[in-house]
Homo-oligomer: A and B are copies of this chain.
Amino acid sequence: MYSYLVDTADRLIESTRELLWERGYVGMSPKVIMARADVGQGSMYHHFRGKADLARTAIDRTAAQMRADVSALLDGPGTATERITAYLRRDRDALMGCPIGRLTQDPGVVADPDLRGPVDEMFRWLRENLARVVGEGRDRGEFDETLDPDRTAAMIAAVVQGGYVLAKAANDPEAFDQAVEGAVALLAAQAG
């Protein structure tokens, strides 16, 4: 796997990113990371200090990618309502869950400030950007004046993260869609 990636460190990082998503920090081992990257033990400990170092690098890369993806939607064309709806309805594999959000349930991540830090920053950034768009919509008269941007932003982010939980529990992506559409409908009703 990852044979298309020439760089050894790069293959290790991609392997770690996938495993963090699939199994979390406590659920993955250096051995499995190396096997998936097709990299020997000596190479791994040459490029990284260990499991935590690899995880930190992988989390940073995933967070950066997510910021770019979300920015494209929230700063794209359309009204505030349209951009928020685009974020909510964004194409997702609901059964995979959120590669950053799942880390909040991981005792190994929560216990290590170096690992929790990027997760914290990511959600802080997300909520700020959602709140900004909600505020824009409110100022343009799309939403009621009384709508609180911060709370609404937190609700939107929570519905997405919770939607993954429902989908995984039911082993059915439809549960995610139901939650998202429930939120879209309430926001639309509020706008009208």
Residues of A within 8 A of B (CB): 22-24, 26-27, 97, 101-102, 104-108, 110, 116, 119-120, 122-124, 127, 144, 146-148, 150-166, 168-171, 175, 178-183, 185-187, 189-190
A110 to chain B, nearest CB (A): 6
Known: A24-B107, A170-B124. A157 touches B162 (CB 8 A): yes
B27 and A107 contact, CB distance less than 8 A? yes
Number of copies: 2
Known: A179-B158, A182-B155. A105 touches B107 (CB 8 A): no
B168 and A155 contact, CB distance less than 8 A? no
B185 and A27 contact, CB distance less than 8 A? no
Known: A24-B107, A27-B107, A104-B165. 12 other contacts (CB 8 A): A24-B26, A105-B105, A124-B170, A147-B185, A148-B185, A154-B166, A155-B180, A155-B182, A156-B182, A158-B165, A159-B162, A160-B162
A182 and B153 contact, CB distance less than 8 A? yes
